[in-house]
Amino acid sequence: MSGRIGLITRYVVLGGLGIIWLLPIYLLLANAGKLTSEYSGSELWSPGNLPALLSNVGEVFSTTDVPSGLGVTFLYATIAPLIAVILGAGIGFAVIVLKLKHGFFWFFVVFCGTVFPLQIMVIPLFASFSQIGLFDTFAGMTIVYAAVATPFSAFVMRNFFAGIAETVFEAAVVDGASAWRIFTRIYLPMSRSALVVVFILQATWVWNDLLLALVLTQSASTRPVMPLLAALQSTEGGGSAYTVVLTAALIVSIPTALLFMFTQRVFQRGLSLGQY
Amino acid sequence: MSRRSSTNYQRAAWGFLAPGVVAVVLVLHLPVLYTVFLSFTDFNGLGDPEFIGIDNYVRMFRDPAVLTSITNTLLWVVGTLVVPVGLGLVVAYLAFGLPGGAWLRVPFLVPYALSGVAVGVVFSFVLQNGGALSQALAFLNLPGSELRWLQDAPLNTFAMIIASAWQGVGVNALLFTVGLQSIPKEPLEAAKVDGAVGWRLFRFMIWPLLRPSTTIVVGLSIVNSLKTFDIVQSMTQGGPNRVSETLGVTMYRNTFLNSEYGLGAAVALFLTVITLAASIIYLRRQLTIGEPVKKAVRS
Amino acid sequence: MRPTRSAAAAAVLLLGAAALSGCSAGGSSGADSGELTFITDKTWDFDTFSAESKKDIDVSLATTAYADQEAFQAFVKQSFRTNKSPGLFTWHTGGQLEELVAEDLVAPTTDIWTKAVENGDVAESVRDLYTVDGEQYCTPISVDDWVMYYDKRTFEEYGLTAPTTWEEMMTVSDTLVDNGVTPFWNAGGNPWAFVWFQILAAGTDLDLYTGLTTGEVDWTDPEVVDVMNIWLDMKEKGYFTDPGSKVAAETQMKDQEVAMIPFGTWYASTLTTVGLESGTDWGVFPIPNVNPDQETTPVAIETAPACTAENSPQKDLGLEYAEWWMSSEAQTAWSEQEGNLPYNPNAEASTEEFQAIGAEFADPSYEFYLRWYEAAPAPILTASLDQFTGFMTNPGDPTPYLEGIQQVADEYWAGN
């Protein structure tokens, strides 16, 4: 039966590609499991060992500032994407479902937020943030992250809503529901997987942001983990040993990797195309 | 329907739209205005910017490396549309509806979860001269172990596009997966009854219905590939001798390495205009105002 | 800017108030509080050092490290316009310092220097690096001399000793190449592409080197071409490591793949991280003159200044700290912690290797010059790093590379 062969082919192709995709991850783990005295540029493929890995992990926690930034990073990476998801869904709802006049124009205004390179924006952002007292504050960082994440969120939610049949809205109107009620009771629950995708992708982005955090925060209570991690790398002496930096870089990636794994269940639902 | 012109819903629509628009305009658009101003000035970051008209734009196009930069940037756009987008679709489609498919997608998502520092380390491990890739090719007696992946143009740009695909495929696959999930069941069932299977089912049923997702993935890929910066900066710094530079790197170089803020702003604006033009051309076609999906499906 | 700013202020605040409760961090404090805001692009261990100053003068450092040097500099420049200008920050000497002084942004430290030089805490030659138009600005955290690090294990294995002349160094290199060890570390890109050009140019003719930094010498002059050809010749003899390798110099030395690395004295602490011990595993020697007829032997120096912003709310505290940093107590502690060479002659280097080289450099036959990274104006530096990297990657006739730098230099000197 061709169906079964097709199924097996899919497993083989995906599995094979997946293994290739994981090879670089193996390189990271293998070399994080070496002491700097064991690490060698010509033997990158040789496996590491557990005692060295544990020793590097110990070094990360005992000699670097990296763990101290985890808490505030967690807050940024949950609150800001949450705001962005809601703002973006609101924009998509207004433009597509409520058919706002000149909706495409407004959507495009929001989309333009992704067009400009962030590197050039940090300087004016710093200038205005320090002017109005948002520099080096939790609120300031949350606002920036939420704003940066909003265009993507609006784009995804807009297109997702566009895929929902208009009859859904019409039926709700006939029932006499208010726009707010239709939004929160019908459209948001229907778009669970899109909301989750936006949230996890943007949470990951916020978690891994270096540039904005580098320039817009300063004190220990607001500075997230990426600038702390980057500061371990030295060009002119000092800094941490190479494999310790590598271990730290992996440790801070555990939360985002777990986030992806645990949210995969959301995407298991939906209709099955398996038999085709 | 009278609903379309109903002031009731128009007002409500403003309520839903406004918070997001306000946040984006204030935080993301205002700094752009400042940059527009800077691009007409001579400014080293200290003192006051001095107005010099369009000199920066003239200087920008006189720089011979800018042409390379534009070419490389376009390579990035094309490369990104072919590799990470195409592969993302393949992964999403193959894994969709497959028992355990979600877990098979995880390996592609892990690279996106990695911190920038870890990604930088991976790429230098793999692509440097005599690095992991060369070591592996030599071990397997395959050709290519002598290639200088990051040092010879245009090989270095291609190598970096593949490297960025390693990071980007998972995200695209995820977005396509959401698209696959939102495809309504009925037309597919009908098509199945008509005997559509395999490639034909995909080409004539699923692909058109995937359009909302494809638009997102392609639209964002165009924008992000035009802005390519991080990976080039960390891998080659645009070198050796500027052969792998992209416009994002040119902008950074002028602004931050040479403290020529005006010149950097000019490059940034040039880049922005290209990106806007590309987005308008692409999105106007894809997102017909109002009812994009229905039209797309019918046509 | 004004109207947009206030509009932005109003709206952002509105948004912020609606969404979140502000939880602003403290940290900025008056001059007498004892905690000094210190921002830096260095990765040195300032926390340990802060404990030392807390003990000594009851001032501690609240340090924020910025990994990206370029972003850091842009940030500092912008901060002068705000009330966030730092009480103490690291910077670079040369053109970068002059730029700040020209705008009256850094607090003068002339009084501190006068006292320190009188005390014998610091050499006159170092003061010159901190002098702009007759006044001093900032104080040094460290002054690092450039030396050649060599692998004692490898040298012993092949019966080699530290060379004292260029010729000896080339002979040593030939022996190493014959035995499959790469003599010298050499890397492309920003920042290190300049290293060998600096060594060869200054070692051939220090005036030539200086002329390139001031625009008096053209890059296409035959003397410069000769310098590049020496580099090319060494490259062709296999003296250099692959500039396309991203394996750190210290790792290559640990694996005994490379025998010699030219770097500043700050590099000692990095060698320790891979387990190489000063004295037993590695030693240092002064980089010899390429041209033996040059009267003095040039030694590149670099120095990390700590500066105080003129308009900083913590100006007084910052200057107090800067003064202390030059003292022999602070310098001894710093040298012990970082393993480098203290510039204060009253402080003691922490290793015998560096005590010896410190004594050697006290000899008047050495002449100190500012390393290329600080000495060259920014656009010329950037262009030179690009062209040098191109030259290393595809070695050959140096003329097109030099012409590339000259083009940028012409443009720069025409405007300045």
Measure CB to CB from residue C42 to each of A40, A135, A238 and give the nearest one: A238
Looking at residue C406, its pLDDT comes to 97
- Rounded CA-CA distance C335/C338 in Å is 5
Q: Which residue has the higher pLDDT, A263 or A144?
A: A144
User: A267 in a domain, yes or no?
Assistant: no
User: A81 in a domain, yes or no?
Assistant: yes
Contacts of B260 in chain A (CB under 8 A): none
User: A156 in a domain, yes or no?
Assistant: yes
Looking at residue A18, its pLDDT comes to 95
Looking at residue A235, its pLDDT comes to 75
- Decide: C200 and C262 in contact? Cβ < 8 Å: no
pLDDT tens sequence across C146-166: 999 999 999 999 999 999 999
- Rounded CA-CA distance C198/C191 in Å is 13
Measure CB to CB from residue B223 to each of A17, A115, A259 and give the nearest one: A115
Contacts of C105 in chain B (CB under 8 A): 46
Measure CB to CB from residue C77 to each of B27, B34, B45 and give the nearest one: B45
Looking at residue A269, its pLDDT comes to 54
User: A217 in a domain, yes or no?
Assistant: yes
Q: Are residues A165 and A42 in the same domain?
A: no
Q: Are residues A17 and A75 in the same domain?
A: no
Alpha helices for C86-150 (secondary structure H): 95-102, 110-119, 124-129
Query: How far off is chain A from C377, nearest CA to CA, in Å?
Result: 20
**What number of C-beta contacts closer than 8 Å exist between A and C?**
163
Query: How far off is chain A from C263, nearest CA to CA, in Å?
Result: 9
Measure CB to CB from residue A159 to each of B131, B216, B248 and give the nearest one: B216
Q: Are residues A95 and A59 in the same domain?
A: no
Q: Are residues A76 and A54 in the same domain?
A: no
Query: How far off is chain A from C416, nearest CA to CA, in Å?
Result: 25
Contacts of A245 in chain C (CB under 8 A): none
Looking at residue B293, its pLDDT comes to 44
Q: Are residues A75 and A199 in the same domain?
A: yes
Does the pLDDT of residue C7 top 70, yes or no?
no
pLDDT tens sequence across B190-209: 887 887 777 888 888 888 88
Interface probe for C, chosen from A129, A218, A234, A252 (most Cβ of C below 10 Å), is A218
Q: One-letter amino acid identity for A92?
A: G
A136 vs C191: CB contact, 8 Å cut-off? no
Does the pLDDT of residue C229 top 60, yes or no?
yes
CATH number at residue A222: 1.10.3720.10
B268 vs A252: CB contact, 8 Å cut-off? no
Measure CB to CB from residue C387 to each of B26, B237, B241 and give the nearest one: B241
Looking at residue C14, its pLDDT comes to 41
Q: What homologous superfamily is domain C146-300+370-415 in, according to CATH?
A: Periplasmic binding protein-like II (3.40.190.10)
Looking at residue A2, its pLDDT comes to 53
Q: Are residues A23 and A51 in the same domain?
A: yes
Closest to B115 measured CA to CA, from C324, A66, A190, C149 = A66
Tokens linked to B151: 């040092």
The domains located in chain B, with CATH, are 66-257+273-298 (1.10.3720.10)
Give the nearest chain B residue to A192 (CA atoms).
B178
A128 vs C9: CB contact, 8 Å cut-off? yes
- Residue C191, preceding peptide bond in cis (omega within 30° of 0): yes
User: What's the mean pLDDT when you consider all of chain C?
Assistant: 89
Overall average pLDDT of the C266-295 stretch? 93
A274 vs B183: CB contact, 8 Å cut-off? no
Does the pLDDT of residue C4 top 60, yes or no?
no
- Rounded CA-CA distance C217/C406 in Å is 10
ipTM of the complex model: 0.89
pLDDT tens sequence across B250-290: 999 999 999 899 999 999 999 999 999 999 888 887 776 44
B130 vs C245: CB contact, 8 Å cut-off? yes
Query: How far off is chain B from C63, nearest CA to CA, in Å?
Result: 22
Tokens linked to B42: 């001579």
Into how many domains does chain A fold? 2
A120 vs B265: CB contact, 8 Å cut-off? yes
Closest to A60 measured CA to CA, from A256, A246, A233, A253 = A246
Query: How far off is chain C from A20, nearest CA to CA, in Å?
Result: 23
Measure CB to CB from residue A162 to each of B104, B184, B212 and give the nearest one: B212
Q: Are residues A218 and A107 in the same domain?
A: yes
Contacts of C193 in chain A (CB under 8 A): none
| % of chain C with per-residue pLDDT over 70 | 92
Q: Which residues of C221-243 are buried (b: 16+ CB within 10 A; e: fewer)?
A: eeebebbbebbbebbeeebbbbb
Dihedral angle over CA of C318, C319, C321, C327, nearest 10: 160
Q: Give, as one character, the DSSP assignment of residue A264.
A: G
pLDDT tier for residue A83 given thresholds of 50, 70 and 90: very high
- Rounded CA-CA distance C273/C254 in Å is 10
C43 vs A122: CB contact, 8 Å cut-off? no
B240 vs C188: CB contact, 8 Å cut-off? yes
- Rounded CA-CA distance A198/A216 in Å is 24
Looking at residue A273, its pLDDT comes to 34
Read off φ and ψ for residue C131, nearest 5 degrees: -100, 125
Tell me which fold the domain C33-144+301-361 belongs to: D-Maltodextrin-Binding Protein; domain 2 (3.40.190)
B166 vs A108: CB contact, 8 Å cut-off? no
* Domain boundary residue, one of A35, A66, A97: A66
Closest to C194 measured CA to CA, from C10, C341, C405 = C405
pTM (2 d.p.): 0.90
Does the pLDDT of residue C17 top 70, yes or no?
no
pLDDT tens sequence across C173-186: 999 999 999 999 99
Q: Which residues of chain B fall below pLDDT 50?
A: 1-6, 289-299
Return the biggest CA–CA distance within chain B: 73
Looking at residue A268, its pLDDT comes to 60
Does the pLDDT of residue A274 top 50, yes or no?
no
Domain of A44, in residue numbers: 2-66
Does the pLDDT of residue C55 top 60, yes or no?
yes
Contacts of A232 in chain C (CB under 8 A): 43
Overall average pLDDT of the A136-147 stretch? 96
Looking at residue C348, its pLDDT comes to 81
Query: How far off is chain A from B237, nearest CA to CA, in Å?
Result: 15
Surface of B (223-282) touching C: CB under 8 A? 236-237, 239-243, 252-253, 255-260
Does the pLDDT of residue C238 top 70, yes or no?
yes
Q: Kindly give the pairing relationship between strand C60-65 and strand C35-40.
A: parallel
Distance (Å) of CA C233 to CA B261, C68, C186, C200 = 39, 35, 14, 12
Closest to C152 measured CA to CA, from C273, C240, C256 = C256
Q: One-letter amino acid identity for C331?
A: Q
A147 vs B118: CB contact, 8 Å cut-off? no
Query: How far off is chain A from B163, nearest CA to CA, in Å?
Result: 10
Contacts of A141 in chain C (CB under 8 A): none
A42 vs C8: CB contact, 8 Å cut-off? no
Domains C33-144+301-361 and C146-300+370-415 fall in the same CATH topology: yes
Looking at residue C60, its pLDDT comes to 93
User: What's the mean pLDDT when you consider all of chain A?
Assistant: 89
Query: How far off is chain C from A130, nearest CA to CA, in Å?
Result: 6
Q: Are residues A60 and A87 in the same domain?
A: no
Surface of B (267-286) touching A: CB under 8 A? 268, 271-272, 275-276, 279-280, 283
Q: Are residues A42 and A160 in the same domain?
A: no
Q: Chains that contact C by 3+ CB pairs under 8 Å?
A: A, B
Closest to C169 measured CA to CA, from C287, C50, C34 = C287
Give the nearest chain C residue to B121 (CA atoms).
C246
Overall average pLDDT of the C280-292 stretch? 96
User: Which of A102-116, A233-247, C349-363, C389-403 is predicted least confidently?
Assistant: A233-247
Contacts of C249 in chain B (CB under 8 A): none
pLDDT tier for residue C33 given thresholds of 50, 70 and 90: low
Measure CB to CB from residue C386 to each of B26, B37, B242 and give the nearest one: B242
Looking at residue B298, its pLDDT comes to 34
**Vertex B261 angle, CA C37 and A210, to 5°:** 50
Q: B182 touching C, CB under 8 A? A: no
What would the DSSP string read from start to end of A169-217?
A: HHHHHHTT--HHHIIIIIIHHHTHHHHHHHHHHHHHHHHH--HHHHHH-
Q: Are residues A156 and A139 in the same domain?
A: yes
Closest to B175 measured CA to CA, from A150, A193, A206 = A193
pLDDT tier for residue C27 given thresholds of 50, 70 and 90: very low
Does the pLDDT of residue C23 top 80, yes or no?
no
Dihedral angle over CA of A136, A138, A140, A141, nearest 10: 90
Measure CB to CB from residue A110 to each of B21, B104, B110 and give the nearest one: B21
Does the pLDDT of residue C22 top 70, yes or no?
no
B26 vs C245: CB contact, 8 Å cut-off? no
* Domain boundary residue, one of A47, A66, A85: A66
* Domain boundary residue, one of A191, A212, A231: A231
B24 vs A147: CB contact, 8 Å cut-off? yes
Query: How far off is chain C from A37, nearest CA to CA, in Å?
Result: 5
Surface of B (108-167) touching A: CB under 8 A? 108-118, 121-122, 125-126, 130-132, 135-136, 139, 166
Read off φ and ψ for residue B297, nearest 5 degrees: -70, -40
**Vertex B250 angle, CA C186 and C374, to 5°:** 45
- Rounded CA-CA distance A181/C233 in Å is 78
A276 vs B17: CB contact, 8 Å cut-off? no
| % of chain A with per-residue pLDDT over 90 | 64
Does the pLDDT of residue A67 top 80, yes or no?
yes
Closest to A156 measured CA to CA, from A217, A197, A213, A115 = A197
C45 vs A233: CB contact, 8 Å cut-off? no
Distance (Å) of CA A257 to CA A64, A225, B173, B273, C110 = 22, 16, 16, 36, 54
Instruction: Give, to the nearest 10 degrees, the angle between helix B116-127 and helix B155-181.
Output: 130
Q: B211 touching C, CB under 8 A? A: no
- Decide: A211 and A118 in contact? Cβ < 8 Å: yes
- Decide: B197 and B213 in contact? Cβ < 8 Å: no
Alpha helices for chain A (secondary structure H): 2-32, 50-63, 70-92, 103-111, 118-131, 138-162, 166-174, 179-181, 188-190, 192-208, 211-216, 225-230, 242-251, 254-263
| % of chain B with per-residue pLDDT over 70 | 93
Q: B262 touching A, CB under 8 A? A: no
C382 vs B253: CB contact, 8 Å cut-off? yes
Show me where the domains of chain C are located: 33-144+301-361, 146-300+370-415
User: A138 in a domain, yes or no?
Assistant: yes
Looking at residue B4, its pLDDT comes to 46
User: Which of A178-187, B205-214, C366-375 is predicted least confidently?
Assistant: B205-214
Q: Are residues A25 and A152 in the same domain?
A: no
Q: Are residues A59 and A139 in the same domain?
A: no
